[in-house]
Chains A and B, each alone.
Chain A
Amino acid sequence: MQLPGRMIALLSLGALAAIIGVAVVSGQSDDGVLTAAPAVTPEQGSPPSTVATTNQASSTVPAVPVTTEPPVTTEPAVDLPDRGLHPPLRDIDGWLQSDVTSLEELRGQVVAVQFWTFGCSNCKATLSHMQDLYAKYHDQGLEIVGVHSPEFSYEAEVDNIVEAAADLGVTWPIALDPTKHSFHDWQEGPRGFWPRIYLVDRNGHIRYDHRGEGRYDEIDAAVGILLDEPAT
Protein backbone atom coordinates (compact mmCIF):
# COMPACT_ATOMS: atom_id res chain seq x y z
CA MET A 1 0.00 0.00 0.00
CA GLN A 2 2.84 2.32 0.81
CA LEU A 3 4.82 1.82 -2.38
CA PRO A 4 2.14 3.13 -4.75
CA GLY A 5 1.62 6.08 -2.41
CA ARG A 6 5.31 6.89 -2.54
CA MET A 7 5.41 6.44 -6.29
CA ILE A 8 2.50 8.81 -6.68
CA ALA A 9 4.25 11.31 -4.42
CA LEU A 10 7.48 10.95 -6.38
CA LEU A 11 5.72 11.37 -9.70
CA SER A 12 3.82 14.37 -8.34
CA LEU A 13 7.01 15.94 -7.11
CA GLY A 14 8.68 15.36 -10.47
CA ALA A 15 5.72 16.85 -12.27
CA LEU A 16 5.71 19.89 -10.00
CA ALA A 17 9.45 20.35 -10.49
CA ALA A 18 8.91 20.20 -14.24
CA ILE A 19 6.09 22.73 -13.99
CA ILE A 20 8.27 25.11 -11.98
CA GLY A 21 11.11 24.64 -14.46
CA VAL A 22 8.93 25.35 -17.46
CA ALA A 23 7.37 28.36 -15.75
CA VAL A 24 10.74 29.82 -14.84
CA VAL A 25 12.19 29.19 -18.30
CA SER A 26 9.13 30.67 -19.98
CA GLY A 27 9.58 33.81 -17.91
CA GLN A 28 13.15 34.34 -19.05
CA SER A 29 12.05 36.08 -22.21
CA ASP A 30 9.34 38.62 -22.72
CA ASP A 31 8.83 37.05 -26.09
CA GLY A 32 8.00 33.69 -24.59
CA VAL A 33 4.99 31.92 -25.95
CA LEU A 34 3.34 31.67 -22.57
CA THR A 35 3.57 35.26 -21.52
CA ALA A 36 3.97 37.47 -24.51
CA ALA A 37 1.00 36.64 -26.64
CA PRO A 38 -0.49 39.97 -27.65
CA ALA A 39 -3.45 40.84 -25.51
CA VAL A 40 -5.44 41.63 -28.60
CA THR A 41 -4.84 40.62 -32.16
CA PRO A 42 -6.63 41.97 -35.19
CA GLU A 43 -8.25 38.57 -35.65
CA GLN A 44 -9.61 38.68 -32.14
CA GLY A 45 -10.96 42.14 -32.49
CA SER A 46 -11.66 44.14 -29.38
CA PRO A 47 -10.80 42.72 -25.98
CA PRO A 48 -13.65 41.80 -23.67
CA SER A 49 -12.97 44.88 -21.63
CA THR A 50 -13.60 47.10 -24.61
CA VAL A 51 -17.16 46.05 -25.14
CA ALA A 52 -17.93 46.04 -21.47
CA THR A 53 -16.14 49.29 -20.87
CA THR A 54 -18.55 50.91 -23.23
CA ASN A 55 -21.25 49.81 -20.84
CA GLN A 56 -19.33 51.43 -18.03
CA ALA A 57 -18.95 54.75 -19.75
CA SER A 58 -20.25 57.91 -18.21
CA SER A 59 -23.95 58.31 -18.75
CA THR A 60 -23.48 61.95 -19.60
CA VAL A 61 -21.00 61.39 -22.37
CA PRO A 62 -21.86 58.73 -24.92
CA ALA A 63 -19.17 56.19 -25.58
CA VAL A 64 -17.65 56.72 -29.00
CA PRO A 65 -15.40 54.03 -30.34
CA VAL A 66 -12.61 55.77 -32.16
CA THR A 67 -11.56 52.96 -34.45
CA THR A 68 -14.14 50.87 -36.16
CA GLU A 69 -12.16 49.54 -39.08
CA PRO A 70 -9.79 46.64 -38.69
CA PRO A 71 -6.19 47.83 -38.68
CA VAL A 72 -4.04 47.08 -41.67
CA THR A 73 -0.89 46.78 -39.60
CA THR A 74 -0.08 44.27 -36.86
CA GLU A 75 -0.96 46.83 -34.19
CA PRO A 76 -3.85 45.71 -32.02
CA ALA A 77 -7.32 47.08 -32.50
CA VAL A 78 -8.32 49.22 -29.60
CA ASP A 79 -11.52 50.98 -28.75
CA LEU A 80 -11.32 53.95 -26.45
CA PRO A 81 -14.72 54.55 -24.87
CA ASP A 82 -15.19 57.75 -22.96
CA ARG A 83 -15.23 57.06 -19.23
CA GLY A 84 -15.83 60.64 -18.26
CA LEU A 85 -13.71 63.35 -16.75
CA HIS A 86 -10.81 62.07 -14.67
CA PRO A 87 -11.01 62.50 -10.88
CA PRO A 88 -8.79 65.21 -9.43
CA LEU A 89 -5.48 64.27 -7.92
CA ARG A 90 -6.23 64.70 -4.20
CA ASP A 91 -3.82 65.47 -1.37
CA ILE A 92 -0.78 65.54 -3.60
CA ASP A 93 2.24 66.37 -1.46
CA GLY A 94 4.24 67.99 -4.24
CA TRP A 95 5.50 67.37 -7.75
CA LEU A 96 8.94 66.30 -8.89
CA GLN A 97 10.50 67.01 -12.28
CA SER A 98 7.55 69.15 -13.25
CA ASP A 99 6.54 72.71 -13.96
CA VAL A 100 2.88 71.85 -13.57
CA THR A 101 1.13 71.15 -10.30
CA SER A 102 -2.15 69.66 -11.46
CA LEU A 103 -3.56 67.55 -14.24
CA GLU A 104 -5.86 70.41 -15.19
CA GLU A 105 -2.83 72.38 -16.35
CA LEU A 106 -2.17 69.63 -18.89
CA ARG A 107 -5.56 70.02 -20.56
CA GLY A 108 -5.06 69.98 -24.33
CA GLN A 109 -2.43 67.27 -24.07
CA VAL A 110 -2.81 63.52 -23.97
CA VAL A 111 -1.72 62.36 -20.53
CA ALA A 112 -0.68 58.89 -19.40
CA VAL A 113 -1.31 58.73 -15.67
CA GLN A 114 0.52 55.80 -14.12
CA PHE A 115 0.09 54.84 -10.48
CA TRP A 116 3.34 53.30 -9.30
CA THR A 117 5.75 52.96 -6.45
CA PHE A 118 9.47 52.50 -6.87
CA GLY A 119 9.68 49.33 -4.75
CA CYS A 120 7.15 47.48 -6.89
CA SER A 121 8.85 45.06 -9.26
CA ASN A 122 5.94 45.03 -11.69
CA CYS A 123 5.99 48.83 -11.82
CA LYS A 124 9.68 48.78 -12.60
CA ALA A 125 9.07 46.24 -15.35
CA THR A 126 6.80 48.72 -17.14
CA LEU A 127 9.29 51.58 -17.07
CA SER A 128 11.23 50.66 -20.18
CA HIS A 129 7.96 50.77 -22.09
CA MET A 130 7.06 54.08 -20.48
CA GLN A 131 10.44 55.45 -21.52
CA ASP A 132 9.87 54.29 -25.09
CA LEU A 133 6.41 55.82 -25.05
CA TYR A 134 7.77 59.12 -23.75
CA ALA A 135 10.56 59.22 -26.30
CA LYS A 136 8.20 58.40 -29.15
CA TYR A 137 5.26 60.63 -28.33
CA HIS A 138 6.30 63.41 -25.95
CA ASP A 139 7.11 65.78 -28.79
CA GLN A 140 3.71 65.04 -30.33
CA GLY A 141 1.83 66.11 -27.21
CA LEU A 142 1.98 63.18 -24.79
CA GLU A 143 2.76 63.86 -21.16
CA ILE A 144 3.29 61.15 -18.59
CA VAL A 145 2.45 61.73 -14.95
CA GLY A 146 3.73 59.11 -12.55
CA VAL A 147 1.60 59.25 -9.44
CA HIS A 148 3.85 57.80 -6.77
CA SER A 149 1.68 56.02 -4.21
CA PRO A 150 3.91 54.22 -1.72
CA GLU A 151 3.08 50.76 -0.39
CA PHE A 152 5.66 50.86 2.41
CA SER A 153 6.91 53.70 4.56
CA TYR A 154 10.40 53.78 3.04
CA GLU A 155 8.80 54.37 -0.34
CA ALA A 156 7.21 57.55 0.97
CA GLU A 157 10.53 59.28 1.65
CA VAL A 158 11.01 61.95 -1.00
CA ASP A 159 14.79 61.50 -1.09
CA ASN A 160 14.30 57.81 -1.83
CA ILE A 161 11.83 58.61 -4.61
CA VAL A 162 14.21 61.12 -6.19
CA GLU A 163 17.06 58.64 -6.05
CA ALA A 164 14.92 55.81 -7.42
CA ALA A 165 13.59 57.99 -10.25
CA ALA A 166 17.15 58.80 -11.29
CA ASP A 167 18.23 55.17 -11.07
CA LEU A 168 15.21 53.90 -12.97
CA GLY A 169 15.31 56.53 -15.70
CA VAL A 170 12.01 58.15 -14.79
CA THR A 171 12.29 61.59 -16.35
CA TRP A 172 8.62 62.58 -16.54
CA PRO A 173 6.68 64.50 -13.88
CA ILE A 174 6.01 62.67 -10.62
CA ALA A 175 3.10 63.58 -8.35
CA LEU A 176 3.60 62.52 -4.75
CA ASP A 177 0.62 60.71 -3.26
CA PRO A 178 1.87 59.62 0.19
CA THR A 179 -1.62 59.21 1.64
CA LYS A 180 -2.73 57.16 -1.38
CA HIS A 181 -5.91 59.21 -1.52
CA SER A 182 -5.52 59.71 -5.26
CA PHE A 183 -4.56 56.06 -5.68
CA HIS A 184 -7.88 55.00 -4.15
CA ASP A 185 -9.96 57.82 -5.65
CA TRP A 186 -9.01 56.78 -9.17
CA GLN A 187 -9.30 53.04 -8.70
CA GLU A 188 -12.81 51.69 -8.25
CA GLY A 189 -13.31 49.00 -5.63
CA PRO A 190 -11.63 48.65 -2.27
CA ARG A 191 -8.38 47.23 -3.61
CA GLY A 192 -5.96 49.33 -5.64
CA PHE A 193 -3.28 47.86 -7.86
CA TRP A 194 0.27 48.79 -8.79
CA PRO A 195 1.00 49.52 -11.53
CA ARG A 196 -2.09 50.94 -13.18
CA ILE A 197 -2.15 53.18 -16.22
CA TYR A 198 -4.89 55.49 -17.42
CA LEU A 199 -4.84 57.39 -20.69
CA VAL A 200 -6.49 60.80 -20.50
CA ASP A 201 -7.45 62.54 -23.73
CA ARG A 202 -6.97 66.21 -24.62
CA ASN A 203 -10.33 67.04 -22.98
CA GLY A 204 -9.40 65.45 -19.68
CA HIS A 205 -11.50 62.34 -20.17
CA ILE A 206 -10.28 58.87 -19.27
CA ARG A 207 -10.22 56.74 -22.39
CA TYR A 208 -8.12 53.73 -21.45
CA ASP A 209 -7.25 51.81 -18.29
CA HIS A 210 -5.04 48.82 -17.62
CA ARG A 211 -3.87 47.09 -14.44
CA GLY A 212 -0.46 45.49 -14.16
CA GLU A 213 2.21 44.98 -16.74
CA GLY A 214 1.69 44.31 -20.42
CA ARG A 215 -0.58 45.29 -23.29
CA TYR A 216 2.18 47.62 -24.42
CA ASP A 217 1.22 47.47 -28.10
CA GLU A 218 -2.34 48.31 -27.18
CA ILE A 219 -1.22 51.26 -25.06
CA ASP A 220 1.01 52.53 -27.88
CA ALA A 221 -1.85 52.27 -30.34
CA ALA A 222 -4.22 54.04 -27.95
CA VAL A 223 -1.81 56.92 -27.42
CA GLY A 224 -1.38 57.30 -31.17
CA ILE A 225 -5.13 57.42 -31.68
CA LEU A 226 -5.68 59.93 -28.87
CA LEU A 227 -2.93 62.18 -30.20
CA ASP A 228 -4.68 62.26 -33.56
CA GLU A 229 -7.91 63.43 -31.96
CA PRO A 230 -8.40 67.17 -31.67
CA ALA A 231 -9.44 68.81 -28.44
CA THR A 232 -13.09 69.83 -28.42
Chain B
Amino acid sequence: MIAAIIGPFAEAVRATVQPCTFLMIVPTATAVIAASARWQALVAAVAAAIVGGWILADNEFLLDGAALRWSAVVVALALVALLLPLLRERVPIPTQLMGRPWTQAAIVAFVVLVATQWWRPCVGRELGNVLSDAQFDLVGQLLPMAFYMLGVMVPIAALVALRYLVEPAERWQAALSGVAGTVGVVIALFLVAGRHESVTVTLTRWTLG
Protein backbone atom coordinates (compact mmCIF):
# COMPACT_ATOMS: atom_id res chain seq x y z
CA MET B 1 0.00 0.00 0.00
CA ILE B 2 2.72 2.44 1.05
CA ALA B 3 4.87 1.50 -1.95
CA ALA B 4 1.87 1.98 -4.21
CA ILE B 5 1.68 5.64 -3.25
CA ILE B 6 5.29 6.47 -2.40
CA GLY B 7 6.55 5.12 -5.73
CA PRO B 8 4.37 7.36 -7.90
CA PHE B 9 5.07 10.33 -5.63
CA ALA B 10 8.84 9.89 -5.85
CA GLU B 11 8.77 9.33 -9.61
CA ALA B 12 6.70 12.49 -10.04
CA VAL B 13 9.15 14.55 -8.01
CA ARG B 14 11.94 13.38 -10.30
CA ALA B 15 9.78 14.07 -13.37
CA THR B 16 9.45 17.73 -12.42
CA VAL B 17 12.91 18.38 -13.84
CA GLN B 18 12.15 16.55 -17.08
CA PRO B 19 11.07 18.59 -20.12
CA CYS B 20 7.85 16.65 -20.60
CA THR B 21 6.50 18.06 -17.33
CA PHE B 22 7.26 21.69 -18.11
CA LEU B 23 4.12 22.38 -20.10
CA MET B 24 2.13 21.55 -16.99
CA ILE B 25 4.34 22.86 -14.25
CA VAL B 26 5.40 26.20 -15.76
CA PRO B 27 1.87 27.53 -16.38
CA THR B 28 0.98 26.27 -12.89
CA ALA B 29 3.91 28.15 -11.37
CA THR B 30 3.08 31.34 -13.26
CA ALA B 31 -0.54 31.22 -12.10
CA VAL B 32 0.37 30.56 -8.46
CA ILE B 33 2.98 33.34 -8.41
CA ALA B 34 0.60 35.70 -10.20
CA ALA B 35 -1.81 35.01 -7.35
CA SER B 36 0.90 36.20 -4.95
CA ALA B 37 1.88 32.62 -4.08
CA ARG B 38 -0.65 32.50 -1.26
CA TRP B 39 -1.45 29.23 0.45
CA GLN B 40 -4.99 29.42 -0.87
CA ALA B 41 -3.60 29.38 -4.41
CA LEU B 42 -1.46 26.36 -3.53
CA VAL B 43 -4.41 24.45 -2.11
CA ALA B 44 -6.45 25.21 -5.21
CA ALA B 45 -3.58 24.28 -7.53
CA VAL B 46 -3.00 20.95 -5.80
CA ALA B 47 -6.69 20.06 -5.83
CA ALA B 48 -6.98 20.98 -9.50
CA ALA B 49 -3.82 19.04 -10.36
CA ILE B 50 -5.22 15.92 -8.71
CA VAL B 51 -8.51 16.22 -10.56
CA GLY B 52 -6.62 16.91 -13.78
CA GLY B 53 -4.49 13.83 -13.18
CA TRP B 54 -7.59 11.70 -12.77
CA ILE B 55 -9.00 13.05 -16.03
CA LEU B 56 -5.70 12.19 -17.68
CA ALA B 57 -5.73 8.66 -16.26
CA ASP B 58 -9.29 8.16 -17.44
CA ASN B 59 -8.10 9.00 -20.97
CA GLU B 60 -11.50 9.96 -22.31
CA PHE B 61 -10.68 13.62 -22.83
CA LEU B 62 -7.87 15.49 -24.55
CA LEU B 63 -7.33 19.15 -25.31
CA ASP B 64 -5.92 19.12 -28.80
CA GLY B 65 -6.15 21.14 -31.98
CA ALA B 66 -8.82 23.84 -31.84
CA ALA B 67 -9.84 22.88 -28.30
CA LEU B 68 -6.27 23.41 -27.14
CA ARG B 69 -6.15 26.85 -28.75
CA TRP B 70 -9.46 27.97 -27.26
CA SER B 71 -8.44 26.70 -23.85
CA ALA B 72 -5.24 28.74 -24.17
CA VAL B 73 -7.30 31.86 -24.96
CA VAL B 74 -9.31 31.35 -21.78
CA VAL B 75 -6.18 30.66 -19.74
CA ALA B 76 -4.59 33.86 -21.05
CA LEU B 77 -7.69 35.79 -19.97
CA ALA B 78 -7.64 34.08 -16.57
CA LEU B 79 -4.02 35.08 -16.04
CA VAL B 80 -4.84 38.65 -17.01
CA ALA B 81 -7.62 38.56 -14.45
CA LEU B 82 -5.07 37.51 -11.83
CA LEU B 83 -3.01 40.57 -12.70
CA LEU B 84 -5.89 43.05 -12.44
CA PRO B 85 -5.36 43.77 -8.72
CA LEU B 86 -1.86 45.01 -9.59
CA LEU B 87 -3.47 47.75 -11.64
CA ARG B 88 -6.00 48.88 -9.05
CA GLU B 89 -4.42 52.33 -8.67
CA ARG B 90 -4.22 52.96 -12.38
CA VAL B 91 -7.21 51.38 -14.00
CA PRO B 92 -10.78 52.11 -12.88
CA ILE B 93 -11.97 48.53 -12.75
CA PRO B 94 -13.65 46.63 -9.98
CA THR B 95 -10.56 44.87 -8.67
CA GLN B 96 -11.74 44.32 -5.12
CA LEU B 97 -13.28 40.95 -5.92
CA MET B 98 -10.33 39.88 -8.09
CA GLY B 99 -7.91 40.61 -5.26
CA ARG B 100 -9.53 38.25 -2.79
CA PRO B 101 -7.35 35.20 -2.08
CA TRP B 102 -10.05 32.62 -2.72
CA THR B 103 -11.18 34.32 -5.93
CA GLN B 104 -7.63 34.17 -7.16
CA ALA B 105 -7.34 30.59 -5.96
CA ALA B 106 -10.37 29.64 -8.05
CA ILE B 107 -8.75 31.19 -11.11
CA VAL B 108 -5.51 29.34 -10.36
CA ALA B 109 -7.46 26.09 -10.07
CA PHE B 110 -8.92 26.64 -13.52
CA VAL B 111 -5.52 27.37 -15.06
CA VAL B 112 -3.98 24.30 -13.45
CA LEU B 113 -6.86 22.07 -14.51
CA VAL B 114 -6.39 23.16 -18.11
CA ALA B 115 -2.60 22.88 -17.93
CA THR B 116 -2.87 19.26 -16.82
CA GLN B 117 -4.77 18.58 -20.03
CA TRP B 118 -2.07 20.27 -22.14
CA TRP B 119 0.45 18.02 -20.49
CA ARG B 120 2.09 15.03 -22.19
CA PRO B 121 3.61 13.32 -19.16
CA CYS B 122 6.77 11.29 -19.00
CA VAL B 123 5.52 7.75 -18.56
CA GLY B 124 8.01 6.14 -16.23
CA ARG B 125 7.47 2.79 -14.61
CA GLU B 126 5.24 4.04 -11.79
CA LEU B 127 3.01 6.24 -13.92
CA GLY B 128 3.07 3.50 -16.55
CA ASN B 129 1.68 1.04 -14.03
CA VAL B 130 -1.00 3.50 -12.95
CA LEU B 131 -2.05 4.29 -16.51
CA SER B 132 -1.96 0.66 -17.61
CA ASP B 133 -4.11 -0.46 -14.71
CA ALA B 134 -6.41 2.56 -14.94
CA GLN B 135 -7.71 1.23 -18.24
CA PHE B 136 -9.52 -1.46 -16.32
CA ASP B 137 -9.65 -0.24 -12.72
CA LEU B 138 -9.76 3.54 -12.71
CA VAL B 139 -11.09 3.80 -9.16
CA GLY B 140 -8.27 1.64 -7.86
CA GLN B 141 -5.73 3.98 -9.43
CA LEU B 142 -7.16 7.24 -8.09
CA LEU B 143 -5.01 7.16 -4.95
CA PRO B 144 -1.66 6.44 -6.65
CA MET B 145 -2.51 8.99 -9.35
CA ALA B 146 -3.31 11.57 -6.67
CA PHE B 147 0.07 10.94 -5.07
CA TYR B 148 1.74 11.24 -8.45
CA MET B 149 0.16 14.67 -8.86
CA LEU B 150 1.19 15.62 -5.32
CA GLY B 151 4.74 14.81 -6.36
CA VAL B 152 4.46 17.00 -9.43
CA MET B 153 3.30 19.86 -7.21
CA VAL B 154 6.25 19.68 -4.80
CA PRO B 155 8.21 22.49 -6.53
CA ILE B 156 5.09 24.67 -6.48
CA ALA B 157 4.68 24.00 -2.77
CA ALA B 158 8.34 24.92 -2.31
CA LEU B 159 7.73 28.22 -4.12
CA VAL B 160 4.84 29.07 -1.82
CA ALA B 161 6.79 28.05 1.29
CA LEU B 162 9.64 30.26 0.13
CA ARG B 163 7.26 33.17 -0.31
CA TYR B 164 6.05 32.86 3.29
CA LEU B 165 9.59 32.46 4.52
CA VAL B 166 11.02 35.47 2.71
CA GLU B 167 7.90 37.64 2.88
CA PRO B 168 8.98 40.00 0.12
CA ALA B 169 8.00 43.64 0.22
CA GLU B 170 4.68 44.39 -1.42
CA ARG B 171 6.19 46.06 -4.46
CA TRP B 172 8.54 43.14 -5.02
CA GLN B 173 5.66 40.75 -4.64
CA ALA B 174 3.71 42.78 -7.16
CA ALA B 175 6.65 42.78 -9.58
CA LEU B 176 7.06 39.01 -9.27
CA SER B 177 3.35 38.47 -9.81
CA GLY B 178 3.41 40.75 -12.84
CA VAL B 179 6.37 39.00 -14.45
CA ALA B 180 5.03 35.51 -13.76
CA GLY B 181 1.57 36.35 -15.03
CA THR B 182 3.01 37.91 -18.16
CA VAL B 183 5.14 34.84 -18.84
CA GLY B 184 2.05 32.69 -18.42
CA VAL B 185 0.09 34.86 -20.84
CA VAL B 186 2.90 34.66 -23.40
CA ILE B 187 2.99 30.86 -23.13
CA ALA B 188 -0.77 30.72 -23.57
CA LEU B 189 -0.58 32.99 -26.61
CA PHE B 190 2.03 30.73 -28.18
CA LEU B 191 -0.38 27.84 -27.75
CA VAL B 192 -3.16 29.94 -29.28
CA ALA B 193 -0.87 30.40 -32.26
CA GLY B 194 -0.51 26.65 -32.59
CA ARG B 195 3.09 26.64 -31.39
CA HIS B 196 2.78 23.77 -28.91
CA GLU B 197 6.07 22.29 -30.04
CA SER B 198 7.88 25.64 -29.87
CA VAL B 199 6.67 26.18 -26.32
CA THR B 200 7.88 22.78 -25.20
CA VAL B 201 11.27 23.16 -26.88
CA THR B 202 11.69 26.70 -25.53
CA LEU B 203 10.79 25.65 -22.00
CA THR B 204 13.28 22.83 -22.31
CA ARG B 205 16.04 25.20 -23.36
CA TRP B 206 15.27 27.64 -20.55
CA THR B 207 15.44 24.91 -17.99
CA LEU B 208 18.33 22.86 -19.27
CA GLY B 209 20.35 25.76 -20.55
Question: Is A70 in the interface zone, CB < 8 Å from B?
Answer: no
Cβ of A16 and Cβ of B158 under 8 Å apart?
yes
- Chain B, residue nearest A153 (CB): B197
Knowing A5-B164, A6-B167, A153-B197, the reply to whether A211 touches B132 (Cβ < 8 A) is yes
Sample of 26 A–B contacts (CB below 8 Å): A16-B157, A19-B154, A22-B10, A23-B151, A26-B10, A27-B10, A34-B7, A35-B10, A39-B129, A48-B140, A53-B135, A53-B136, A122-B124, A153-B197, A190-B59, A190-B60, A193-B128, A210-B128, A210-B132, A211-B123, A211-B131, A212-B125, A212-B129, A212-B132, A214-B126, A214-B128
Q: Is A75 an interface residue (CB 8 A)?
A: no
The listed residue (B124, B135, B161) touching A214 by CB distance below 8 A is B124
Among B1-36, those with CB < 8 Å from A are 3, 6-7, 9-11, 13-14, 18, 20
Chain A 9-34 interface 0/1 with B at a Cβ cutoff of 8 Å (1 = within): 11011001101101110110000011
**Interface membership of B61, Cβ < 8 A:** yes
Task: Indicate if B83 sits at the interface (CB-CB under 8 A).
Answer: no
A residues less than 8 Å from B62 (CB atoms)? 189-191
A9 near B18 with CB under 8 A, answer no
B132 touches A209 (CB 8 A): yes
- Chain B contacts of A215 at CB under 8 A? 125, 128-129, 132
| A27 CA / B127 CA spacing, docked (Å) | 14
How many A residues are at the interface, by size bracket? Answer: 35 or more
Decide if A118 is an interface residue (CB 8 Å cutoff). Answer: no
A12 contacts B161, C-beta separation under 8 Å: yes
Give complex CA distance A115, B191 in Å.
26
Cβ-defined contact, B3 with A37, below 8 A? yes
The 9 closest A-B pairs by CB, nearest first: A212-B128, A52-B136, A214-B125, A212-B123, A9-B164, A23-B13, A189-B59, A190-B62, A9-B165
A23-B14, A190-B62, A191-B59 given; A35·B125 CB < 8 A? yes
A146-188 to B contact mask, C-beta < 8 Å, 1/0:
0000011100000000000000000000000000000000001
Contacting residue for B18 out of A2, A39, A121, A214, CB 8 A: A121
> Residues of B with Cβ closer than 8 Å to A?
3, 6-7, 9-11, 13-14, 18, 20, 56, 59-62, 64, 120, 122-129, 131-133, 135-137, 140, 151, 154, 157-158, 161-165, 167, 197, 200-201
Contacts of A22 in B (CB 8 A): 10
Q: With an 8 A cutoff between CB atoms, is A134 at the interface? A: no
Is there a chain B Cβ closer than 8 Å to A213's Cβ?
A: yes
> In the complex, are the beta carbons of A37 and B7 less than 8 A apart?
yes
The answer for the CA separation of A122 and B21 in the assembled complex, in Å, is 13
